[in-house]
Amino acid sequence: MALIKDILRTMDYGPSPESSDHVRAWLLKHEGGFGPFIGGRFTKPRELFDVFNPATGERIARATQGSPADVDAAVAAARKALPKWAATPGEERARVLYALARHVQKRERFLSVLETIDNGKPIRESRDIDLPLVARHFYHHAGWASLIESEFPGTRPVGVCGQVIPWNFPLLMLAWKIAPALAAGCTVVLKPAEYTPLTALAFAEICIEAALPPGVVNIVTGDGETGAALVAHDSVDKIAFTGSTEVGRAIRKATAGTGKKLALELGGKSPFVVFDDADLDSAVEGVVDAIWLNQGQVCCAGSRLLAAEGIADALTSKLRARMARLRVGDPLDKSTDVGAIVAPAQLERIERLMRAGAEEGLEIWRADDALPNRGSFYPPTLVTGAEPASVLMREEIFGPVLVSTTFRTPDEAVALANNTRYGLAASVWTENVNRALEVAARIKAGVV
């Protein structure tokens, strides 16, 4: 056993695992499989698919592959609940949203551990970022619900909302979609990603505990076919989707001419622009948050580093030193910085794109290739010398890979930043406020 003086001398991290016993007990209670949550209750499980822990590869649960009949039943329940929920005064809806927020907070530890086991993200992120934001979304929209009559007079709920969410922030995306819909008086049919349905199913239990009226929230699990059935359903008034650009295009095509409202949040290849007068140490920490948070599985991840030519080498050196200290491993260990990729299929996609980049002759650097001997892991990676046409500069990798190139002038930086078919987010690093504002205004991105 290491002595305290030895630990202080080396400052090596020891293991700091978070207990998952309570989550394992909950999963054991549902070992027969989860059915859809429709009309305020769980229906009987039928055709089941396996849910895996990406950090170990073990099967942790089974959930129902939602059929068109399940979608029909869920939409019918939402439609039946709509008139009463829409007519409920905003203050009453606010009380329900407050109750949901409080119940989420009561179960924060359980939900954060479940999210980490299901998704692979480090427990520090699910515990300290995701869960507080989940509760905050419900509290925030409870406030809007209480003010809806005075601040939005004459408005009406859209109706039944079909919501399809991704696997990178499963519970946070659920809150992001459900909270505003409930505040506005809409009812919901939500389909979580097939890789990560478990926190959505745990939230269904919270809906029962918080006395949410039956049918206001319905959850149907399944793959893309289940999502397609929800998108195509005639009784759905609005589709809200977060996910890949390819699926977003398919949804836009499927809903064209139907009169359905549509909200899409799709992919990104966001530029991270560093000028020669920037504080490089701060920029490095910004890069860590921008691309290695959640293993780079973030729509607005700063995956393209555009560095001024004069400081590119110094920035790269600092980045490599910082990458060497990132800890990859068990997501339930509170000392872990980078957890597991969500599924083997996503890991294979990252590896395939990296092979294509290597074939183009790009320089690929990793601090340490030593990874856990089981599970889906990929090390933090820095790619330098990329050209604008390089596959890794064009394609959304959705993994812990930063692709770097250089620029000489602000005009060139803006041109490189805008040389993408995406336009989700961007960040600009400089100590010159005028330059920051001028460049930010010229970058075509929704959030800068």
Choice among 115, 125, 265, 396 that is catalytic: 265
Known active-site residue 299? yes
CA distance 332 to 17: 6
Is the dihedral angle over the CA atoms 6, 7, 8, 11 positive or is it negative?
Answer: positive
CA distance 145 to 179: 10
Q: What is the dihedral of CA 82, 86, 88, 94, to 10 degrees?
A: 100
Burial of 114 (0-12, 13-18, 19+ CB in 10 A): buried
Residue with tokens 């630990």: 7
CB distance 304 to 428 below 8 Å: no
Known active-site residue 186? no
Q: How far is CA 95 from CA 39, 142, 149, 210, in A?
A: 20, 7, 15, 10
Q: What amino acid is encoded at 123 in this protein?
A: I
Cα-based angle 172, 93, 260 (whole degrees, multiple of 5): 65
Provide the phi-psi class of 218: left if phi over 0, else alpha when psi is between -120 and 50, else beta: beta
Strand-pair partners of 383: 364, 403
Count CB-CB contacts under 10 A for residue 232.
Answer: 17
CA distance 369 to 177: 38
Choice among 161, 207, 299, 300 that is catalytic: 299
First-to-last CA distance in the chain? 49
- Residues annotated as catalytic (active site), given as ranges: 265, 299
